[in-house]
Amino acid sequence: PPLTPHTYLGQNYPNPFNPSTEIHFSLAEPGKVIIDIYNQKGELVRNLLNGNFTAGNNKVFWDGLDNQGKIVSSGVYYYRMRNGAYSSTRKMLLLK
């Protein structure tokens, strides 16, 4: 039998990255997905994604820019995905 899709947030690739990376995620059913990026202090750096997606595998790219369009500095960043009751956070490293 085919595998039932489930909701999860994958590790970004490549990691470490420079200048951009892709973030893979999967949804068990169609729905709204929000992905935000935070710095090590927990401050919001970028509202990366806020939209509706189909069930199954999806991906989004981060170009290393903040909400003002400025290039962020090297370091550890966290990306958080929310989809209904689901929430998951992963760590990524930008090396210049």
pLDDT tens profile 7-26: 999 999 999 999 999 999 99
Q: Are 23 and 59 in contact (CB under 8 A)?
A: yes
Q: Is 46 helix (H, G, I), strand (E, B) or coil?
A: strand
Give the H or E element holding residue 35: strand 31-38
Tens of pLDDT along 51-87?
999 999 999 999 999 999 999 999 999 999 999 999 9
Other CB atoms within a 10 A radius of the CB of residue 25 amount to 21
Q: What is the residue whose two structure tokens read 């169609």?
A: 30
Domains parsed from the chain with CATH numbers? 8-66+74-94 (2.60.40.1930)
The pLDDT score that the predictor gives to residue 4 is 67
